[in-house]
Structure 1
Amino acid sequence: MAKQISDLTTIDLFNDEKRPGRPRTNPHSRSVQVKINKRNQVKRDKNNGLKRVEFKMHQDLINKLDQLAKDTNCNRSELIESLLVKALTLNEN
């Protein structure tokens, strides 16, 4: 009996065939890869003098920040940093 690729009743005949797609290049699972990448990102940020800061804000304020960041062609993190620097320099004077 000949195999037909479109024949779903003989799917067991195709178990040994390689599936199309991108070959697996990393021996770790996706969750382990994410942990490794995050650890590497934290190390890079630390070497660049960056420190992670986390706080909560109302959604309305986030929407306004996002819009202002879009208008000034930067990301939200850069915008908040520039606003803080401006506020601190005004406070020093």
Structure 2
Amino acid sequence: MAKEATDLTTIDLFSDEKRPGRPKTNPLPRNVQIKINKRNQVKRDRSNGLKRVEFKIHHTLFEQLDQRAKAEQVSRGELIEALLIKSLASSQN
């Protein structure tokens, strides 16, 4: 019987062949990698003096922020930070 490259019903014939795709470089499962990466990101942010703030806003306000951020080519977080700084500066005067 000849070995045909497209014949996947006899998978034992292909067990020694490398499959195409990205090689696995990390032995940990993906969900563990995500947790570790998030923890490292929080540590980096903290060392850079950043603090995480979460709040809920109405959907229409969210859309307005999103549109303005896209128009100014900044992230929503950067836009909100700039608006807060501007508001606090004007209230101190």
Scaled by the length of structure 2, the TM-score of the pair is 0.91
Could you list the per-position Cα deviations for residues 6-64 of structure 1 after superposition, in whole angstroms to 9, with x for gaps in the alignment?
22432332233221112111111101110110001001100110000001111111110
Q: Aligned partners of 2:44, 2:55: CA distance in 1, in Å?
A: 22
Q: Which runs of 4+ in 1 moved over 6 A?
A: none
Given that 1:3 and 1:10 are in contact with CA atoms closer than 8 Å, whether structure 2 keeps it comes out as no
Alignment match, 1:58: 58
Alignment match, 2:47: 47
Alignment match, 1:17: 17
Identity rate, percent? 67
Gap runs ≥5 in structure 1:
none
Alignment match, 1:28: 28
How many Å apart are 1:5 and its aligned residue? 1.3
Deviation larger for 5-14 or 33-42? 5-14
Alignment match, 1:68: 68
Alignment match, 1:78: 78
Amino acid of the residue matched to residue 14 of structure 1? F
Q: Secondary structure at the match of 1:45?
A: helix
How many pairs were matched up?
Answer: 93
